[in-house]
Amino acid sequence: KAGVTQTPRYLIKTRGQQVTLSCSPISGHRSVSWYQQTPGQGLQFLFEYFSETQRNKGNFPGRFSGRQFSNSRSEMNVSTLELGDSALYLCASKGWEGEAFFGQGTRLTVV
């Protein structure tokens, strides 16, 4: 069974630009969550989607948004990028025992 797939693996963007990250969950999983990982703040929850609806949201500004499609694939968008948005963005799909299965992440660098 294929794991969680995130694309792209690496991105370099300029301040003020916007970026879209993609996540395909494990087949059959319908819940997708996004996390931001930085050396200073560790792992922080961004949001969770289920059946195309956002169910939970972390404490991030409105520049961070997401969506989920009918095939459970999810995208995350960050607008008006700031240097502090440089991070590893991790997507996870939820297993039947409540565990999270993570993708390899997208490394975003804002210059």
Partner 1 sequence: GNSVTQMEGPVTLSEEAFLTINCTYTATGYPSLFWYVQYPGEGLQLLLKATKADDKGSNKGFEATYRKETTSFHLEKGSVQVSDSAVYFCALSDLLRGQNTGNQFYFGTGTSLTVIP
Amino acid at 21: L
Q: Which of 20, 65, 86, 104 touches partner 1 by CB under 8 A? A: 104
Contacts 24+ apart (CB under 8 A), 58-67: 60/36, 66/34
CB burial of residue 93 (10 Å; 0-12, 13-18, 19+): buried
Q: Which of 1, 42, 59, 111 binds partner 1 (CB under 8 A)?
A: 42
* Residue 66 binds to partner 1 (criterion: CB under 8 A): no
Q: Is the dihedral of CA 11, 87, 45, 100 positive or negative?
A: positive
What are 24's two structure tokens?
A: 């395909």
Q: Is 20 in the site for partner 1 (CB under 8 A)?
A: no
- Residue 19 or residue 33: which is nearer to partner 1 going by CB? 33
> Binding to partner 1 by residue 45, rule CB under 8 A?
yes
Binding site for partner 1 (CB under 8 A): 4, 6, 29-31, 33, 35, 42-43, 45, 48, 50-51, 55-56, 58, 90, 92, 94, 96-105
